[in-house]
Structures are given as structure tokens and as C-alpha cells.
Copies of this chain bind each other. A is one copy, B any other.
Amino acid sequence: MIKVGIIGVGTVGASVANILEDNFDLITARAGKEIKVVKGVVSNLSKKRDVNIPLTDNIDDVLDDPDIDIVVELMGGVEKPYEVVKKALANKKAVVTANKALLAYHRYDLQEIAGDIPIGYEASVAGGIPIINALKVGLSANQITEIKGIMNGTCNYMLTKMIDEDVDYDTILKEAQELGYAEADPTFDVGGFDAAHKLLILSSIAYGIDAKPEDILIEGIEQINKEDIAFAKEFGYAIKLLAIAKKDGNNISLRVHPAMIKKSQMIAKIDGVMNGISVIGDKVGETLYYGPGAGGDATASAVISDIIEIVRAGQSSPMLGFKKPFNSEKLTLSPAEDINSEYYLRMSVQDKPGVLAKIATILGENSISIDTFLQRSASKEKVATLLCATHLSNEKDIQNAIKEIESLDIIKKSVAMVRIVR
């Protein structure tokens, strides 16, 4: 009998306990041993919870219990769970966590501290989709040349609705909050930070590269408006919040930002709250993984898959997938200004002669050539909207051009930009 302690019995924790009970016979047959949750830690003991496990409000009741083999960390936060996981490892307990923020900051520390003690974290990226396992095991023969992921269901739900139903950002955010898809403070999701944490985890398995959220470009979806959506639809694009890892020689580019992508790409077909990750390996080509990125049962499915694997096998490879260091000292994280992309720009300008010429001149002087140009006038306010898509350009040039355009007195508000990703 394998004994499990859960620290944090919220939606996911309760699902873990309940699924281990619901599918007990099946899981026992797959794992080879019975698995039982013997203790759950909560901060508020008086709150009613839908689980049949003994509860405590003292974390050490789990960490110091010599009978407990596996600790499931579902607390949230960074530094507190880090201390908790370290203590669990010191007490020789295997750990399973769904905590992407913890891993975004401390995955290499934890790998070192853990040594041979297994740490599972399948649930930390894209909920119920077994993408960690696919990267660690299924694609291990490949140099990963690119990862493009839709890994935040809140953003994907909002962007899908904006495209399908022509609603604006504020309306759909409010709806997502009412449905429980978005938090009261939605910054972590809509600002791209959640997706960035997940990207950092995947990039460690793909490249053995240690980067922190502060090191990479993170832009959210807050500035996407109806005009951008209309432009995307007109030219056959979907708009998605993408987390992108790209390898070019020894340069690794990691970034999270909204992107226009051609509707024919598989990744563009992933709609609503669903998540999907396209991975390109140098040998296998593109494989794609699709499924629910959140939700109690879906996330618990991933947590339990880690528990079962630990029971069956211990850990088949070090936490982050490399048994020996792999030229990570040679890898460089490319600065955002090295991005080459096509760009979509939206500008609100005074509707008067000479405006277009001024903007076109600035773009030209910054080596940016234009692929598509649309002008829409809202004459009563004497304000026109200019929408344009560029040919392949350099990020630095675009940023310069935007700065120069924004300094013009004909510009009514700041320029909006969305990268077009092939």
C-alpha cells in the first residue's frame, strides 16, 4: 500500500483524492500496488469539502509522517511550497506537484536537491495533456526545433469568443470571470505570465536551458480589440496567445505574446478553453498534443499519472529529462530584439492629409516593408484607424518605428502590435 499526503485540498486536491477512490481497482492494476490518500492539509478546517480523507491544518503532519511515501503539493505560490517540497525531499518522500510558478523559479534547485528521489510535475503544464511525458520520453530522439503552445485556457476562451461572436475584450473578460474561467484579478492569465511559467518548464526539457520569467519576452492579450479581430478574420488568421520556444543553432528564443497564425495551421484550430502544443522535432517533424489545460479532474488525471509512474518505476530519468548536461553552457537565450517576424500594426491617427505619408516614411526608414495596408475612417471624430501587416522585419526596427510613430502629434493613442507567426 502506497500512502499519499496532499498539501492543499482545493478543487484539484479533492479530485486527486476522489479519482484514486473512484478508479481504485483500475489504478491498482496499473500501478501494481494499492494507492491511498491518508492525509490532506488545508488552511481552513471548518470549510466543508467534498472528500473522504482525514484533514489537518498542519503541513508537518504530512511532511513528518514516516508512513507517507508521496507528497502531492497543490498549495500555489513560490517560496512557501519550495520550503515544503524541500522538506519532503529531505524526508525522502517522492513529490508530485502541479505548481508551475514553483517550477518556473526553482526547477533546477529542486532537481539537484531531489537527486534520485522522484519529482513528478506532469500537471504543471497544460493540465490533462501529457506533454511533459511526451517531451521527456516520446520525442527524446529529437532536437526540438520549435514549440508553439496554447497553454492558457482563459486567454484562448476569450480570443475564440472575440473572433466567433464579435464581442469586445472587456465584455468577454467579464463573462469569463462570471464563468469562473478568469480570476477577479486576471493579470496572471491575460498578461501571459501563466503561459510563460509553462514555457520555461518545457524549454528545460527540450533544451536543458535555465531561464526565469524575468529573462523572456512576455506580452498579454489586453490590447487586442475588435479591429484586430476583424483584420485577422479578413486575412485568414486566428489570434492566439502563443508560448514559443525556437532553436536556431545555439540560440534559443523564448517568448509569450499574442500572435496571428494562418487558420490552416493545426495549432490555429484549437479553440475555446482547450490547450494545445505543437512540437517540431528535427527527425519526427510536427506532433501536436490537444486537451483540457485546466479543471479539477483533468489536472488530477495528470497528478495521478505521476503517482502511478512513481509507484511503478521510481523515476526513469532525472526530473528535467537529461541524465548528463547537454551543451547548455553553449546555448544562449536570444534577446527579444533578435526576433524576425512579420508584424501587424494598428494606429489611430488624425484623419487629415499627409498622415499616411509620414507613417510610411518612418516604416521605410526603419527597413520595414509593407505587405497589406487598410485604412478605416470614423469621420465624425476625425480619427482614422490604420491597420497594416509588414513583410519579414526585425523586432528592433519595429520597436524603433513604433516609438517614432507614437511621438508624432497626429497619433491619437499608442500603436498596437501583434506578431504574425508562420
Contact = CB atoms under 8 A, between A and B. Distances in A.
A289 B292 contact: no
A142 B301 contact: yes
A284 B325 CA distance: 34
Q: How many copies does the complex hold?
A: 2
Given A137-B130, A287-B290, A301 B323 contact: no
B291 A290 contact: no
B29 A301 contact: no
A130 B139 contact: yes
Contacts of A282: 23
A305 B32 CA distance: 24
A140 interface: yes
Contact of A143 (B23, B266, B291): B23
Interface residues of A, number: 63
A66 interface: no
A316 B326 contact: no
Contact of A140 (B287, B308, B326): B308
A287 B128 contact: yes
A2 to B, nearest CB: 12
B291 A286 contact: yes
Contacts of A298: 283-285
Given A316-B309, A317-B313, A301 B284 contact: yes
A196 to B, nearest CB: 23
A297 interface: yes
